[in-house]
Structure formats: C-alpha cells, structure tokens
Chains A and B, each alone.
Chain A
Amino acid sequence: MSTQSKKKPFIGTAGIILFLSIAILVVFVAFPVILILFNAFWAKGEFNLVDVVNVLREPDTYQALLNSVFIACGTTIGSTIVGTFFAWLVTRTDLPYKNFMKGLFLVPFMLPSFIGALAWKMLLSPRAGYINRFFMDYFGFEEPVFNIYSYYGIMAVEVMYLFPFVFIQVCGALERMDPTLEESARISGAGLFTITRRITIPLVLPSILSGSLLIMLYSMAHFGTVAVLGIENGIFNIPTLIYERIHQSAGSFAAIRTGTVLATVLVVSAAFIIWLQGKILSKGRYQIIAGKSFRPMELKLRGLRYPLLIFCLAYIGFTIVLPTAVIFMVGGLKTYGLPFTMENLSLDNYKFILFDYKTTKDAIWNSVSLGLSAAVITMFAGVMISYVIVKMKVRGKGVLEFLGMLPFSVPGSVIALGVILAWSGKFGINLYNSVWIILVAYIARYMAFSLKANSAALEQVHDSLIEAARACGATMWQSLRDIVLPLVKPGMFAAFFLIFLPSLRELTVSIMLYAPTTRTIGVAIYTLNEDGETVMSAALAGIALVIIITGQTVISRLTGASAKG
C-alpha cells in the first residue's frame, strides 16, 4: 500500500521551535559558561593547565576552596540532621498540631538567608550583638557568648535557612511510602525502633541524601551569608572571593583569571553533585508508593508530646521569629545601637525608604520590574524548551536535552561572571552597567526553575491527548493552543512565581552586576549594611520580607485554590 503524502518542508514548525530553543539556551546559558571555561584554560594564546593549577595554589584561592568545602560540609550535615528529625517528627509521631508545625518548618524557605545573616549579625556580633551585650551587661560575662563571625556562625545560619530542602524531601518520602512495608516488618515481629532503623531509614535514605546534596550544592555556591558574616573575619568562600576580586580590580586580567578558575571549580563540583544525586535517585528510587492508603503507624510520644512541641516552637521562635523581629525593630530605630524603647522606635525609616530615599526607591522598582520581566520571558521560553524535550520527536533533540541540563548546574556567581565576559562589548553588545545585563543573568539563572515546572506539567499531558486533537483535524499549532497550553497553564503559573518571588530577593547575581542606578533590593540591603547604614538596611530588609511573605501567601492561596478547582 502506498499513500501519496505531502512532501515535508525542509524546515517545518518543529524545526523552527527546536532551533529557537537551542538558540535561547546557547545565548543565555551555554555561551557565558563556555567563555568562563575558555578564559580559565586559555591563557597566553594556548591551552594552559599549569596556570590553572598555579591560580588554585595561591593561598587566597586555596583557602577559599577549602572554606567553601568546609562550610558546605558542615551546613549539609547540620541541615540533614535537623531536617530529617523534624520531618520524622511531623510525619511519624503523634506530635500535637502536626500539620500546622509542618507548615511552620517551611517558613525558613521564605526568609532570604542573607537577611537572616544580617539579623544574626545584629544579635550575635561579638561586640555590638544584642544577645552578646545582654549576657555581658547583665550576667557579667567577660567574653561574648558566641561570635557569629566564624565558621560555626556561618554554618549555623545556613542550617537555619537551608534545612527545609531536606525536610521537604524526607517528609514527601515518608508520606508516600507504602505503609505495608512497615506493617509487614511489624507483623514479622519487629518493634518500632527496629523498623525505623532497619526498614524506614534505609528506604528514605535516597531522599535524605538527595536533599543533602541539594544543600551541599547550594551552600558551596552560596554568597549572602558568607558575605555578611565571613568577610569581617577574613573568611571567604568561592563566590565571595570571585566577587571580591572582580569588584576590587574592576576587570583586570588577573582578577578575571582567578574568577574564571574559581567559577570552573564551582561548575565542575555542581555538575558532580548533580550527577551523584541523579545516580542515588535512580538507583534508590524504590517503588514504595502505596496501594491502599491506610495511615502509617505513628510513634506515641506519650510524655514527650508537649516537651517536643515546645522544642519545635522554640526552634522556630529562635530561628525565625527572633531574627525577623530584630530586623523590624532595628529598622525602626533612630540610630543603630540605641536600646529598644518606645521613644527610639518609629516608622520614619520605613516611610523614608519607601517614599523619599532615591537609592531604595530605585532598588524596589528595579527588583520588581526585573523580576516581572525575567519571570514572563523565562516562563514562555521554558514552556517551549520543555515542550521540545518532553513531547517532540525531532532530530537534534539530544543537543537540547544536554543544554537543558546546563542551567541546573550553573551557580549564580558563575552566571554573573559569564554574563560580564559575554556582554561587556567584546562581542559587539555592551550591556554592562545597565539593567539589561541583570535581566540577561536572571533569565539564565532561573531557566532551571521554569524548565522543571513546565516539564513536570507537560509530562502529565499524555501524548494521546495531543494525538486525539490531531486526529480530529487540528494542526500542530491548533493542538498546542487548544489542548497543550490550557493543560500546562498550572505549570506555567508555578514557573512564573517560582521565578518572580526569588528574584525579588536575589543577591548573588545582582551584586556582581549592579551599577549605581541599577541596584536591586538585595544589593541595596547589602550595600547599605556595608556602608554602616545598618538601620536603613534593616528597614529595607523588613520591607522586602513583607513583600515576600505577602507574595508567598497570595500564591499559596491561588495555587491551593486552582489545585482544588
């Protein structure tokens, strides 16, 4: 049987979409990364590995590397213990108000860690910190109780705001796990302790490890906390050293070189961590999804129920409420260092920042407009790219799949550095010192979020739905418009907010790219603090918190409602 089919055009719709998708990823993500690698390995007109080693052997860079690894390890271990413990507590025990507590443990996600670090600096800096002063003034302590400007201070603050990564993963695994896996151990004669040790923990171990690696990845490349708490005492990690070098030497060759070499180390370790995570997840993705849903058994805490509840509440109070309160109170002070009395507190700073102070007004405007533009652009680009990766069968898709992995393994400071290399006029376009360069960097930075949300949504749309539309006579465009887009709308919605909200508090990328008139909220908070304007910095941080928390609440309402309806 032979049917006369229409000759396929050389470049069809599919080809155009594929080309566009590849182009976007190349221009925004791959090109800057390649420039970094090129600058790192290509010196004096040749491929030069010796020089790379030399750069890494400089005491400052070597120390920064060690610091990044040390802080990341400490943070990871701490967060894993805290996250797993709380996850177990809210899923597998009869802790009172479990669901409410589960929600509370997610709040640290909303608090940008550099704002947290700022708060802890106010509370625990060796001389001026409120807690240290309190103990020295009233209890006659000779020394400050705790110096936040230290490795342990940095780790503690990072743990406070990063542990939800593990918490979420482990909660999910414990909730999804088939209860009969534990019940069959129980009917085999094992008690709860044995079951937890021999069955439950081994089964959720992949989730625990995957959350831990996420924290490792984040902490290695984390700028804010180390910048606020470390630089004071000469503690640099990779991102802060990159920033320091680029910032101080205004783009000298040596600085760029150190920067690109360090960035390469970050990219490589990020890629390694992501590879390891994929390996653990694919090997350990046990099929532990429940058939029948009977509730899993709960450990009866008995006498410990309320003490543990109080412990959880105290933890939240100490790590969330106290720092937030300090931010708002310091933001209300006339001058930093005054006691918190009624006559010293007012809303004047907040008014000044919102209506009169040009720096902060600009910063808020910049962040909102940058966030909106980046979210819209990245959302649409993400849908298109995910569509090609998940749904289309075209030649050359492999390239796109590889490129699509890239955004996940490129940390913010690397993107910033790459964007500087790419868009400072060397290649015909100079965006340096304008908001556009920040926008370009945001798009690269948040592409991963958009790809993740959109491909998850697209995977839910079964191929047969699209095929049914084609069988009904719809063209590819029509089936996209009438079937696919309406079905992936929730994913796009999610992508938009996953980008818009974090971009409002972005620091790592913006700090490397800002010019005097293009400060973002994060940059303004950070630089005000650096300049000793602690009170203004705190007030702006307070306003940022209000915006973030309001946004987050509105969204969880909206998405909660749309998920139900």
Chain B
Amino acid sequence: MSHVRLVNVTKRFGAVTAVDNLNFTLEKGECFSMLGPSGCGKTTTLRMVAGFEDLDDGEVYVGDRLLSSPAKNYYLPPEKRDFGMVFQAFAVWPHLSVYENVAFPLRIRKVASTEVKRRVSDALGATNLLEAANKSPDDLSGGGKQRVALARALAINPDVMLLDEPLSSLDPHLREEMRFEIKALQRQFGFCIIYVTHDQSEAMALSDRILVMRGGVAQQIDTPLNVYNSPANQFVFSFIGLSNFLEVRGEGGAYRLAGGDALPAGLAPPPEFAGNARLSLASRPAEIEFDDAPDAAAALRGTVVRKSYLGEIIDYLVRLGDQTIRVQKVRHSPGPEQGANCALRLLRPTWYVCADGE
C-alpha cells in the first residue's frame, strides 16, 4: 500500500501557480527526491506535505490518514503530523544543548524520562554525536549541526522524513559523506524520505525515484537510471547530466544542421518527427565517439576548437558549422588534437521537437 499520497495538489501564490495539479505516491521505506531549478515548486510541495503551507486544491494522505484537503475543509497542523524534518539552514536551537535539542520532540510528547534518555542516546548514537551531547550546537561545525538536526528528526522514530535541501549548506566534501550517512540511517530505521534538492547527483545517489519539476509542473517521475537514460522531455534531458543540443532544420524530407552540413543518412530522425521544421538533436558528451573510418555513414564532420585536460577526463569542443558540441573522453583513449578535423558518431541520438523560444 502506498504510504504518502498527493492527489491533484495545487498551490497558488496570488496570480502565480507554484504547484500545478501534482500527483505522486510513495511506498513505505522509499526515498523520493524532488529535483528542479529554484522556484520550480519543490520546496512548496514539501512544505505542503509538512503542513506549513495549506493547499489550494487537492489532498495529501499518509497511509489512510487525511492530512490536508481544502475541499473537505480539513487541515492538520504540522505539529500533529508526526514527521521528522531537516531544514537547509540547520535550524538547531542555539540556546539548547545538543541533548536538549534532540530531546525536545520527546518532551513535547510527554515521553517518560527514562525513555527520553534511551531514545535520545539512540538518535545521538546513530548520528555519531554521543560525545557532543552536552555541547552547545554553536560549538559544532556545519556538518555537526546538521547531524543534530537529523538526530532531532529521528528521535520520534518517524515513518516519514522530510529533508529540505539538508546538505546544501555544507561544503562539497562533507556533502558527499552525509549523503551516505542519510542513506545508512534510512536503512537502519526504515523511514521513507521526501528529499528536496537542486543537486542532481545528490538526488541520483540517494533516491529510489526522482520527481523532476519545472514551473510547478511535474516533468517526470522515475528511477534515477530512467530519468537519465530516457528523459521525458528536453528539459529533463538538459537538467540531468551534461547535454548537447544541436538544432536541426527539416525541409522536404531533408535534414541539415542549422548553419552547417546536411545530416548524414544514418543519423536521420525517426519517422514520427517527419514534417517538423525545427528539431533538436540531443546527446551526452560522454556518449559520443570519434569515428576513425572517415566515410562512416552516420558521422558528423567538424573541427576540434578546444581540447582541455580535466584530470581524468579530456574535454573537447568541436565546431560543426555554426554550432559547437562538447565531447568528453577518458584520458587514456587517444583522440584528435586541437585544430584537427574529426568525425563524430553519436551513440544515443535523442530527438525532440523544438519548442518555441527554446
């Protein structure tokens, strides 16, 4: 049975629709990420689940329990929802010790004092904070503070954990480490996670499924692999991973690169795209080969205008007529030099119809 359920959820701020008719469900123990550029509605959605924002339309359930429904004039305040939540800016209380921060939700619930002790120690133990229990959170580093926030959210042993960009205030190295810690805690305690982030690698590493949002509208809900391999549209393609888009003009069944050569016969778009004057040919820099056979039927011809070594990876910029395309190769595979002519073969060409203004 699905655990968290959003049905036709809509939120407006004045004339702006921040979240538009959103539907998704979460299984028990699942890690679900909401990913998108800032202002896409992901944080607003999380806050609606938490109860800090009421909906304008739709319903939110946890299990069979209704949390919000404007139609039924029902709204359960956040303090009654029994979620754990971690915020971007830590939000640990500087006037309470680490121990008291974590004990707070238990004290509010009037848990017996021996039980408070046990559960706080469990939470502090799980987050490696036992030694800092009596410290002030101000004496901890950013990572330490975020652990306190995690421990506090864990203390009531919630079914659902809401994480609002919890790692974006940390430095990159720590961010990666904490990512795995969160995952390990999830395995240990079995809660399900709704995770908001604008960092795609974070979402990829953590999640069972990802929701990509844009302008309040869900673009795709799928596993990380599928989101990467089969993006639902050009936006998702461009938002996840590195991407190239070549503009292609179609006229009377013939296709040519905008400002460049005719498209090789082997690279023609699938039949369902026929008849569109402007197409976009998407590819990932790592999924392009330099083709040695100069007369290959599917190869694009161009000139290497820049070759830069990025440590393990060599990054090429190749000019194709008026357009350029990025190619990335691992270091040990030899490739053309800067200024050389070359032929490119796209391993997984993906086609989109050019929307106006894109």
Interface residues on B, range: 20 to 34
Q: Is A183's CB under 8 angstroms from B87's CB? A: yes
With A199-B93, A202-B95, A203-B94 already in contact, the answer to whether A190 and B104 are too (CB < 8 A) is: yes
Closest chain B residue to A184, Cβ basis: B91
With A188-B108, A189-B105, A286-B138 already in contact, the answer to whether A291 and B89 are too (CB < 8 A) is: yes
Residue B21 CB within 8 A of the other chain: no
Q: Is A180's CB under 8 angstroms from B108's CB? A: no
Which chain B residues lie closer than 8 Å to A297 at the CB level?
52
Q: Is B91's CB under 8 angstroms from A178's CB? A: yes
A187 to chain B, nearest CB (A): 4
Q: Is A187's CB under 8 angstroms from B108's CB? A: no
Q: Is B89's CB under 8 angstroms from A290's CB? A: yes
Residue B149 CB within 8 A of the other chain: yes
With A294-B52, A297-B52 already in contact, the answer to whether A189 and B91 are too (CB < 8 A) is: no
Q: Is B83's CB under 8 angstroms from A291's CB? A: no
Q: Is B94's CB under 8 angstroms from A180's CB? A: no
**Which residues between 180 and 218 of chain A lie within 8 Å of chain B, taking CB atoms?**
180-181, 183-191, 194, 198-199, 202-203, 205
With A180-B91, A188-B152 already in contact, the answer to whether A287 and B138 are too (CB < 8 A) is: yes
- Bound: A294/B47 CA distance, A: 10
Residue B78 CB within 8 A of the other chain: yes
Q: Is B109's CB under 8 angstroms from A184's CB? A: no
Which of A189, A287, A288, A291 contacts B79 (CB under 8 A)? Answer: A189
Which chain A residues lie closer than 8 Å to B81 at the CB level?
187
**Which residues between 134 and 187 of chain A lie within 8 Å of chain B, taking CB atoms?**
178, 180-181, 183-187
Q: Is A184's CB under 8 angstroms from B79's CB? A: no
- Bound: A52/B105 CA distance, A: 57
Interface string of B136-160 (1 = CB under 8 A from A): 0010000000000100110010000
Q: Is A187's CB under 8 angstroms from B50's CB? A: yes
Residue B43 CB within 8 A of the other chain: yes
Q: Is A187's CB under 8 angstroms from B93's CB? A: no
- Bound: A53/B258 CA distance, A: 96
Closest chain B residue to A191, Cβ basis: B79
Q: Is B104's CB under 8 angstroms from A292's CB? A: no
Residue B222 CB within 8 A of the other chain: no
Which chain A residues lie closer than 8 Å to B50 at the CB level?
183, 187
Q: Is B85's CB under 8 angstroms from A189's CB? A: no
Interface string of A249-293 (1 = CB under 8 A from B): 000000000000000000000000000000000000011101110
- Bound: A199/B156 CA distance, A: 19
**Which residues between 70 and 108 of chain B lie within 8 Å of chain A, taking CB atoms?**
77-85, 87-89, 91-95, 104-105, 108
Q: Is B85's CB under 8 angstroms from A184's CB? A: yes
Q: Is B104's CB under 8 angstroms from A188's CB? A: yes
Residue B169 CB within 8 A of the other chain: yes
- Bound: A190/B79 CA distance, A: 6
Which of B43, B52, B92, B156 contacts A183 (CB under 8 A)? Answer: B52
- Bound: A224/B156 CA distance, A: 58
- Bound: A294/B89 CA distance, A: 12
Which chain A residues lie closer than 8 Å to B94 at the CB level?
203, 286-288
Which chain B residues lie closer than 8 Å to A202 at the CB level?
93, 95
Closest chain A residue to B110, Cβ basis: A189
- Bound: A393/B162 CA distance, A: 49
Closest chain A residue to B109, Cβ basis: A189
Which of A178, A185, A189, A205 contacts B89 (CB under 8 A)? Answer: A178
Closest chain A residue to B158, Cβ basis: A187
A202 to chain B, nearest CB (A): 4
- Bound: A286/B96 CA distance, A: 11
Q: Is B78's CB under 8 angstroms from A181's CB? A: no
Which chain B residues lie closer than 8 Å to A181 at the CB level?
91, 93
- Bound: A199/B87 CA distance, A: 16
A294 to chain B, nearest CB (A): 7
With A286-B94, A286-B138, A294-B47 already in contact, the answer to whether A186 and B79 are too (CB < 8 A) is: yes
Residue in A187, A286, A292 with the greatest tally of chain B CB atoms within 10 Å: A187
Q: Is B95's CB under 8 angstroms from A203's CB? A: yes
Residue in B43, B80, B84, B95 with the greatest tally of chain A CB atoms within 10 Å: B95
Residue in B52, B83, B91 with the greatest tally of chain A CB atoms within 10 Å: B91
**Which residues between 95 and 128 of chain B lie within 8 Å of chain A, taking CB atoms?**
95, 104-105, 108-109
- Bound: A85/B161 CA distance, A: 36
- Bound: A181/B137 CA distance, A: 13
Closest chain B residue to A202, Cβ basis: B95
Closest chain B residue to A195, Cβ basis: B79
A284 to chain B, nearest CB (A): 8
Q: Is B95's CB under 8 angstroms from A189's CB? A: no
With A189-B79, A190-B79 already in contact, the answer to whether A183 and B91 are too (CB < 8 A) is: yes
A494 to chain B, nearest CB (A): 31
B184 to chain A, nearest CB (A): 22
Closest chain B residue to A290, Cβ basis: B89
- Bound: A292/B88 CA distance, A: 8
Interface string of A435-458 (1 = CB under 8 A from B): 000000000000000000000000
B351 to chain A, nearest CB (A): 38
Residue in A188, A202, A205, A286 with the greatest tally of chain B CB atoms within 10 Å: A188
Which chain A residues lie closer than 8 Å to B153 at the CB level?
187
Closest chain A residue to B155, Cβ basis: A188
Which chain B residues lie closer than 8 Å to A288 at the CB level?
94
Interface string of A391-423 (1 = CB under 8 A from B): 000000000000000000000000000000000
**Which residues between 31 and 76 of chain B lie within 8 Å of chain A, taking CB atoms?**
43, 47, 50-52
Q: Is B88's CB under 8 angstroms from A291's CB? A: yes
Q: Is B149's CB under 8 angstroms from A184's CB? A: yes
Which chain B residues lie closer than 8 Å to A286 at the CB level?
94-95, 138
- Bound: A203/B108 CA distance, A: 18
A267 to chain B, nearest CB (A): 33
Q: Is A189's CB under 8 angstroms from B88's CB? A: no
Q: Is B79's CB under 8 angstroms from A187's CB? A: yes
With A188-B152, A190-B104 already in contact, the answer to whether A183 and B89 are too (CB < 8 A) is: no
Which of A184, A194, A290 contacts B152 (CB under 8 A)? Answer: A184
Which chain B residues lie closer than 8 Å to A187 at the CB level?
50-51, 78-79, 81, 83-85, 153, 162
B150 to chain A, nearest CB (A): 11
Closest chain A residue to B162, Cβ basis: A187
A77 to chain B, nearest CB (A): 23
- Bound: A180/B358 CA distance, A: 37
Which of A189, A203, A292 contacts B43 (CB under 8 A)? Answer: A292
Closest chain B residue to A192, Cβ basis: B79
B101 to chain A, nearest CB (A): 9
Which chain A residues lie closer than 8 Å to B80 at the CB level?
189
Which of B78, B84, B156 contacts A186 (CB under 8 A)? Answer: B78
Which of A189, A203, A290 contacts B93 (CB under 8 A)? Answer: A203
5 residue pairs, one from A and one from B, having the closest CB atoms: A291-B89, A188-B105, A180-B91, A286-B94, A180-B87
16 contacts between A and B (CB under 8 A): A181-B91, A184-B85, A185-B104, A186-B78, A186-B79, A187-B50, A187-B81, A188-B79, A188-B152, A190-B79, A190-B105, A194-B108, A199-B93, A205-B95, A286-B94, A288-B94
| Besides the known contacts A188-B108, A205-B95, A297-B52, 5 further A-B residue pairs in the complex with CB atoms under 8 A apart | A183-B91, A186-B77, A186-B78, A189-B82, A291-B169
